[in-house]
């Protein structure tokens, strides 16, 4: 099932549990605005090449729209639409004053040089600069983009609108980025995992983990899990996968990746097929890469007892059903990975205040938001006798529905 069909299905299920009026349900589903632009740039050798860029602004009833920009060859309008909608429910679950948006360009970033990536980012910004804004729509990094990408967007946007640090979050500290934002999604994943395991009388140090994806989210989650005594038995990325039943030394793996650019030939474990990671023997599986990786083909083979959705939409609804029947407990994306956008909110607040917080304050506040959201989700689960996914969806959708009604926006 494609990402949009899956996200719409989860939304409709939540709307039914909440008893939402059908007109309101329809108006919450339709995006506020969908932008599609052609971005043509000269390559370093002078030839011209075109890419298609998207920004979907889903909902702004609770505040400015917020969400990352993804550079990946599989970016398509339906996927961006689904990811924008997920951002709306996610910011509401985290209870931060934002709506939802997402953007992307269909490109393989590692095929472009740094200067080509810079030109592409600047052209994309030129095409959308009058549709984003500090109080309208605030981009951030996602797969294939990083603090440097945000710095280029900030610089290009500021040429049109004057110096505007709060136009993006996840930017370099030197340009007004927040301490702790780089690690925030992984740190939030760890806080979320701790909250869930505590409910089951367990803690990270008693558990084995398999982690798919070793970029921003996967590498930070791995590092922080290891710091807390968790044993990481398998890690994968687009270059390969490594396993070690005695535990992988994550700092050594990070160093290996930094020097070789790959997870292959790491001498602290055995290599494995990357797809095998999802069904590898472990207590906790944490997908930190692409959407739809858990599906009806592999869900029946998953050995983990807990799945923490650090990636957006890693589990499609058919897999959700199979895994739930097996008793696997799934912590959904719109809560599990909300640490990133929560610290993005702190960054935006710091930019507007013109005052920088220390890292301890950022991390303490993040823990408060993640813990509170977990308890709010659990309380929705009790009210509606539903899964954690539906607990999170009903929590987010209900908050957005309330602000929509208060503004008098229902159809």
Ligand X SMILES: NC(=O)C1=CN([C@@H]2O[C@H](COP(=O)(O)OP(=O)(O)OC[C@H]3O[C@@H](n4cnc5c(N)ncnc54)[C@H](O)[C@@H]3O)[C@@H](O)[C@H]2O)C=CC1
* Contact set with ligand AKG (CB under 6 A): 66-68, 90, 140, 142, 169-170, 312, 337, 340-341, 344
Cα(331)–Cα(381) distance, integer angstroms: 12
Active site residue 43: no
Rule CB under 6 A: choose which of 120, 147, 153, 288 binds ligand X. Answer: 288
Contact call for residue 217 and ligand X (CB under 6 A):
yes
Residue 273, annotated ligand binder? no
Maximum alpha-carbon separation in the chain: 61
Cα(283)–Cα(220) distance, integer angstroms: 19
Residue closer to ligand X (CB basis): 17 or 104: 104
What's the chain's length in residues? 411
Give the active site residue among 102, 171, 243, 257: 102
Residue 344, annotated ligand binder? yes
Q: Given the rule CB under 6 A, which of 114-122, 288-296, 354-362, 394-402 is the region that contacts ligand X? A: 288-296
Contact call for residue 394 and ligand X (CB under 6 A):
no
Contact call for residue 149 and ligand X (CB under 6 A):
no
Q: How far is the CB of 287 from ligand X (least distance, A)?
A: 8
Q: How far is the CB of 334 from ligand AKG (least distance, A)?
A: 9
Residue 50, annotated ligand binder? no
Contact 94, 133 (CB under 8 A): no
3-state class (DSSP) for residue 235: strand
Q: How far is the CB of 327 from ligand AKG (least distance, A)?
A: 28
Cα(355)–Cα(187) distance, integer angstroms: 23
| Torsion from C-alpha of 153, 159, 161, 165, nearest 10 degrees | 50
> Sign of the C-alpha dihedral, residues 306, 299, 294, 215?
positive
> Sign of the C-alpha dihedral, residues 403, 187, 144, 352?
positive
Given ligand AKG, ligand X, none, residue 67, with its beta carbon under 5 to 8 Å by kind, binds: ligand AKG
Q: How far is the CB of 347 from ligand AKG (least distance, A)?
A: 8
Residue 43, annotated ligand binder? no
3-state class (DSSP) for residue 315: strand
Given ligand X, ligand AKG, none, residue 180, with its beta carbon under 5 to 8 Å by kind, binds: none
Contact call for residue 311 and ligand X (CB under 6 A):
yes
Contact call for residue 286 and ligand X (CB under 6 A):
no
Give the Cα-Cα-Cα angle 367, 187, 134 (nearest 5 degrees): 80
Given ligand AKG, ligand X, none, residue 238, with its beta carbon under 5 to 8 Å by kind, binds: ligand X
Cα(73)–Cα(288) distance, integer angstroms: 17
DSSP for 319-366 reads HHHHHHHTT-EEE-HHHHTTHHHHHHHHHHHHHHHT-PPPHHHHHHHH
How far lies 198's CA from each of 195, 211, 262, 284, in Å?
Answer: 5, 20, 35, 14
Q: How far is the CB of 399 from ligand X (least distance, A)?
A: 19
Residue 262, annotated ligand binder? no
Binding residues: 66, 90, 185, 216, 344
Binding residues for substrate: 66, 90, 344
Interacting residues with ligand X (CB under 6 A): 141-144, 185, 212-218, 236-238, 274, 288-290, 310-312, 337, 340
Q: Looking at the annotation, which residues are catalytic?
A: 102
Binding residues for NAD(+): 185, 216
């Amino acid at each position: 099932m494609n990402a949009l069909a899956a996200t719409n299905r989860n939304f409709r299920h939540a709307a039914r549990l909440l008893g939402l009026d059908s007109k309101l349900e329809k108006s919450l589903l339709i995006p506020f605005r969908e932008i599609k632009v052609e971005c043509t740039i000269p390559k370093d050798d002078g030839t011209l090449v075109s890419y298609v860029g998207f920004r979907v602004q889903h909902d702004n009833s609770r505040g400015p729209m917020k969400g990352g920009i993804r550079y990946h060859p599989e970016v398509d309008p339906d996927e961006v639409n689904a990811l924008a909608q997920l951002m709306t429910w996610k910011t509401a679950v985290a209870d931060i004053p934002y709506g939802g948006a997402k953007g992307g360009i269909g490109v393989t970033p590692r095929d472009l040089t740094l200067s080509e990536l810079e030109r592409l980012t600047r052209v994309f910004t030129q095409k959308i600069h009058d549709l984003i804004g500090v109080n309208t729509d605030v981009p951030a990094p996602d797969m294939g983009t990083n603090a440097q990408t945000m710095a280029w967007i900030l610089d290009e946007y500021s040429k049109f609108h004057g110096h505007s640090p709060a136009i993006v979050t996840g930017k370099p500290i030197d340009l007004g980025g927040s301490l702790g934002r780089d690690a925030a999604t992984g740190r939030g994943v760890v806080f979320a995992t701790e909250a869930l395991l505590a409910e089951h009388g367990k803690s990270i140090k008693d558990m084995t983990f398999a982690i798919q994806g070793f970029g921003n989210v996967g590498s930070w989650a791995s590092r922080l899990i290891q710091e807390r005594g968790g044993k990481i038995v398998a890690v994968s990325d687009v270059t390969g996968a490594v396993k070690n039943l005695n535990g992988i030394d994550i700092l050594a793996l990070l160093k290996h990746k930094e020097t070789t650019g790959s997870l292959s030939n790491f001498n602290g474990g055995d290599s494995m097929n990357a797809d095998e990671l999802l069904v590898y023997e472990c207590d906790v599986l944490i997908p930190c890469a692409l959407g739809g990786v858990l599906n009806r083909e592999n869900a029946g083979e998953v050995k983990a007892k807990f799945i923490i959705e650090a990636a957006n939409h890693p589990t499609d609804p058919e897999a959700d059903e199979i895994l739930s029947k097996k008793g696997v407990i799934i912590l959904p994306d719109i809560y599990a990975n909300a640490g990133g956008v929560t610290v993005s909110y702190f960054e935006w607040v710091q930019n507007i205040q013109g005052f920088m917080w220390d890292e301890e304050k950022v991390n303490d506040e993040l823990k408060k938001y993640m813990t509170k959201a977990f308890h709010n989700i659990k309380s929705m689960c009790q009210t509606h006798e539903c899964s954690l996914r539906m607990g999170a969806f009903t929590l987010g959708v209900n908050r957005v529905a309330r602000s929509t009604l208060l503004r008098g926006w229902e159809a």
